[in-house]
Every structure is written in structure tokens, then in C-alpha cells.
Amino acid sequence: MLLSSKTIHSKWDNSLEPLISVSDGDEIFVETRDASDGQINPGSTVADVEKLQFDRIHPLTGPIEVKGAEPGDALEVEFLEFKHKGWGWTAIIPGFGLLAEDVYTSPVELSSPALKIWKVEDETAKSKFGSLDVKIKIRPFPGVIGTALPQKGKWSTIPPRENGGNMDVKQLSVGSKVYLPVFVKGALLSIGDTHLAQGDGEVCGTAIEAPLEHVKIRLRLHKNLALSAPVFWFPKECYQECVAFPGIDQNLWEATKKAVKSAIGFLTRYMSAQEAYMLISVAADLKVSEVVDRPNWIVTCCVPTQIFSQPLNFP
């Protein structure tokens, strides 16, 4: 069964009528639009970023009714397959992202709009960053997936919530599962904001955003599990060789900024600061490395080395 993205919604609203009804154990294919709802395309320029209409952000395919689902149950979503359309995009959107309000020493401020278009061949996303050809092995996943909220009304999809929503967890790819609380009859599942790749943190505010021909999922209903928030199950993953930059501060947010700025500073040997910011957003992982030695936190920004066309000179 294929659920087309012809009909979408961009707010959480538990009064929406379901597009389809499925049963426990069913496998379905869900077509998704990109996060911009088609405002960015393979021929776009930075001018398209400057005129984005934010009321169209996060078009979600759904809702999907699960027969027998009742408040207090949990919906298991297993990710079986993702089929891309051969391209994606990454952008800096003014006023959005970790460093949106920071002054960064650069010919162009990091809050200025920027755009990269990625071409996908052999399951690898390719683009040019300064003097480097960058190749990233894609691992598609939905940035937004959630059941209907218990509250009536229309609610923004931008922040993650108790129903799941805009979690941007890159590990929710093939082989992974998410368990979502059910708050209303039928669960009313929706999916969107699909990505081809992302670094943990998505620091510039976008990943490799992309529409997908389909996301194949299997749905299972667990009665009376009474979850208050989503739970994830991830398959075993391997760590990659990386060069890592710690940020140290008494404030977790500031420690994160310091780590990202250090990585940007290193990468500007090869590319612009804007390009480095976008590349970190799609390829580098942020990790909370230490929390117990008060008063300081350590957040580490890990940049994988295998994505570059030439060895990085470090130090």
C-alpha cells in the first residue's frame, strides 16, 4: 500500500481525518516531500532560501489510522526501506541554527543565507565545498515522525514533543524502530521532513533535506504500554575515524557553540566558514563527552575524515 504525499499537513492537529486505515503488522509505503515543500529544487539558488515561506515548512504525509489503537497504547514503527529521488539540499536560513545569533569572524556572517545542492549516485551524496570534493554515504531517515497530540488545536511541528515530532534522530534509518505513545483513538501517525544524511546536532538547522519516493515501514501495536515519550531501538553501529574538537564551558549551550566554532575554524583552511557550518550540520556528530566534573561540560564535535577527497592536514 502506497500513501501518496498529494495530501499533506504542516501542523499537529488531532481533528484531521486519516488518509488511510491500517492494521497491526501491516507494511506500508509512504511518499514524502522535502522540508521546504518544494520551495527548494535541484536548480535552486540562494535567492530561493531568502524567500522561503515558513508556513509551508514540514509538510507531513498522513495521518495514518491504526485500527484498534487507543490512548495508553504504543505504536512501534520499524523502518524497512528508503528510496530517494537522486538529490538533496542543505541551507543556512537566516535566524535559524545554533550560531544564528553569534558574531563569527568571517568575510560573510554565518547568519547569511547559503545553499548547497547535493547529487546522489551509488547511495553517495556529492557536492563541492571550497577546494574539497565531499562525498557522504547516505542513510535516509525521517526528521519528523509522530502520533497525534492529546491536546486539541493546531500545534507547530518545529519543536519535538511527547508525541515524537521533529526529533531529527539520524539513527532512525533502516533496521531501527521507534515506539511512539498513542494519545488519541487510531494513533494518527504522520511522517515527513525526510533527510538523506545528518550529523548529530544538525547545527546549521538543515541536514541533507530531500523528498523520498517512499519510506517503507512496518507498524505494530502494543497495548497498554503507557509511554510518556518516544523510545528508540537502534541496531549496532560502527564508529568512524574522525578529527574531534571539544568545547568546554559551564553552560551546555555555550560548550556546544565552542566545539562547533573550533571545527569551523579548522575547516576554513579548505573552505569558507559558511560551507564549514553546513558541512558540520550534515556530517559531524556532537557528543556530550563529560558531565560529572563540575562546573564545566565538555561537548565534542567529531568530523569524519573519510568524506573528504584528500587527507586533512592536522594539526
Residue 271: which CATH number? 3.10.28.20
Does one domain contain both 84 and 203? yes
In this structure, is residue 309 part of a structural domain? no
pLDDT class of 95 with cuts at 50, 70, 90: confident
pLDDT of residue 293: 64
pLDDT at 105 exceeding the cut of 60: no
pLDDT of 281 > 90? The answer is yes
Higher pLDDT, 234 or 181: 181
292 and 229 assigned to the same domain? no
Peptide bond just before 295 cis, omega within 30 deg: yes
261 shares a domain with 229: no
H-assigned helices in the chain: 46-50, 252-267, 273-283
Q: What is the pLDDT of residues 141-164, one digit of tens each?
A: 999 999 999 999 999 999 989 999
Q: Is residue 313 part of a domain?
A: no
102 and 150 inside one domain: yes
Rg (the chain; Cα; Å): 20
Phi, psi of 28 (to 5 degrees): -135, 160
At residue 102 the predicted structure's pLDDT band, cuts being 50, 70 and 90, is confident
* Range list of β-strands (E), 74-170: 74-84, 87-92, 114-121, 124-129, 132-137, 141-146, 155-156, 164-166
For the cut 90, the answer to whether the pLDDT of residue 193 exceeds it is yes
Are residues 246 and 229 located together in one domain of the fold?
A: no
Q: What is the pLDDT of residues 46-86, one digit of tens each?
A: 999 999 999 999 999 999 999 999 999 999 999 999 999 99
Residue 88: inside a domain, yes or no? yes
